[in-house]
Amino acid sequence: MKNLFALLALCCVLTAFLKPSKPTLYLIGDSTVRNTNAPQAGWGSQLASYFDTTRISINNSAMAGRSTRTFISEGRWDKVHNALKPGDFLIMQFGHNEGSAPDTTKAGRRGVLKGTGEETKDLVWPDGRQETVHTYGWYLRKFIKEAKAKGATPMVASMIPRNEWKEGKVIRATNDYGKWAAEVAKQEGVTFIDLNSITADKYDKLGPYEVKKFFPGDHTHTNEAGARLNAESVADGIKAAKRLPLTKFLAKK
């Protein structure tokens, strides 16, 4: 009996000295989140400077060229999902690669059905593999529900704005992917980071000439300076969220 008590006492002492593992903030998305094609850069590469990384880790699992559909079909979501643990966080930002009509061609392999409903489209690939394509909102809900089931806190971010202007204002995604991202976040009761609008407001103030400096090759992919501005917008959106546990890990600036 004495040995048992001694063992229990030792366990208590060891437990007291064990440091709890840091939570991880996982990022999933496309090349606007993670881009290794310099001088282009995704905002995920700049996000760590807005967090206290002694208390939280950041894992940027985004991949260039992926849509919600292909991020899942290629097994990339499975890897993130398997790694999630209670207390972790997840930010998803998709929308740039979803626009093509979904089919089995090179052009259509990334496409999803528009909207947030339960519509589907069944495909058969040349090798006989069958695939059911869903709406943009359905894929976001899958990420959210499966992250919640692992005890993680999922957040939905709208896509960063492209360098496209109309009547002196940046064109926003408020009629399609930004709108649908907001709808799903509300339906599922998770934080929505309106990255599209937050950054667009900054672009509008800077004007087309200054904003063009952020886009070295096309109208979608920013350089490091643009990525830093977008990372700041993500941090702004997190700060503005109510009762979001992630806010306590932001760096004090």
Q: Enumerate the active-site residues.
A: 31, 218, 221
Interior/surface letters 77-113, b for 16+ CB within 10 angstroms, e for the rest: beebbeebeebbbbbbbbbbbbeeebeeeeeebbbbb
* Number of C-beta neighbours around residue 219 at 10 A: 12
Q: Coil, strand, or helix at residue 221?
A: coil
Integer Cα distance of 156 and 1 in angstroms:
54
* Torsion sign, CA atoms 140, 143, 146, 151: negative
Integer Cα distance of 220 and 164 in angstroms:
9
Integer Cα distance of 99 and 108 in angstroms:
9
**For residue 39, is the peptide bond before it cis, meaning its omega torsion is within 30 degrees of 0?**
yes
Strand-strand pairing, 165-166 and 121-124: unpaired
Q: Coil, strand, or helix at residue 133?
A: strand
